[in-house]
Amino acid sequence: MKLTEKIKNMYSEMNWKLTGTLMSIPILSELVVDNFSKYALGATKSPFDDSGSYIQTGFGMALMLGIGAHISHKNIEKVKTKKILKKSEKKFRTFVEDAEDLMYITDKDGYFTDVSNSIVNSLGYSREELMKMKITQILTKKEKDYYKLNKDEFISNGKLNTETIFVTKDKKEICGELKATAAYDGKGNYIGCKTVFHNLTERKRAETNLKERIKELNGLHDLGRLVEEVESLDELLPKFAKKIIPKNMAFPDKVYVRLKINGKNYVNSHGFRIKDFSHSISKPIKVKKIKRGNLTMGYIEDLEINKFEQKLISTYARRLGKIIGKKYDEEKIKEQSVRDPLTGLYNRHYYEQNINKIINSAKEEKQKVGFSMYDLNNFKYLNDNFGHLKGDKILKDFAHLLSSSIKSSDISIRFGGDEFLVISPNATHLTKQKIDDRLEKKINSYNKHNNKDIDYNVSVSAGHTLRSDLSNKSIEYTLDIADKNMYQHKKGLGGKII
CA distances from 417 to 137, 343, 360, 457 (A): 87, 11, 28, 18
Nearest to 471 by CA among 427, 436, 431: 427
CB 249 within 8 A of CB 255: yes
Cα(342)–Cα(334) distance, rounded to whole angstroms? 16
| Residue 455 known to be catalytic | no
**In the beta sheet, which residues pair with residue 293?**
261, 285
**Secondary structure in 3-state letters for the chain:** CCHHHHHHHHHHHHHHHHHHHHHCCHHHHHHHHHHHHHHHCCCCCCCCCCCCCCCCCCHHHHHHHHHHHHHCHHHHHHHHHHHHHHHHHHHHHHHHHHCCCEEEEEECCCEEEEECHHHHHHHCCCHHHHCCCEHHHHECHHHHHHHHHHHHHHHHHCEEEEEEEEECCCCCEEEEEEEEEEEECCCCCEEEEEEEEEECHHHHHHHHHHHHHHHHHHHHHHHHHHHHHCCCHHHHHHHHHHHHHHHCCCCHHHEEEEEEECCEEEECCCCCCHHHCCCEEEEEEEECCEEEEEEEEEECCCCCCCHHHHHHHHHHHHHHHHHHHHHHHHHHHHHHHHECCCCCCECHHHHHHHHHHHHHHHHHCCCCEEEEEEEECCHHHHHHHHCHHHHHHHHHHHHHHHHCCCCCCCEEEEEECCEEEEEEECCCCCHHHHHHHHHHHHHHHHHHHCCCCCCCCCCEEEEEEEECCCCCCCHHHHHHHHHHHHHHHHCCCCCCCC
| CA-derived radius of gyration, the chain | 51
Q: What single-letter amino acid sits at 57? A: T
Residues 6+ away with beta carbon under 8 Å from 374: 402, 419, 420, 421, 422, 439, 460, 461, 462, 486
Q: Which of 340, 375, 418, 436 is catalytic?
A: 418
First to last CA, the chain: 173
Nearest to 45 by CA among 3, 15, 5: 15
Task: Write out the catalytic residue numbers.
Answer: 418
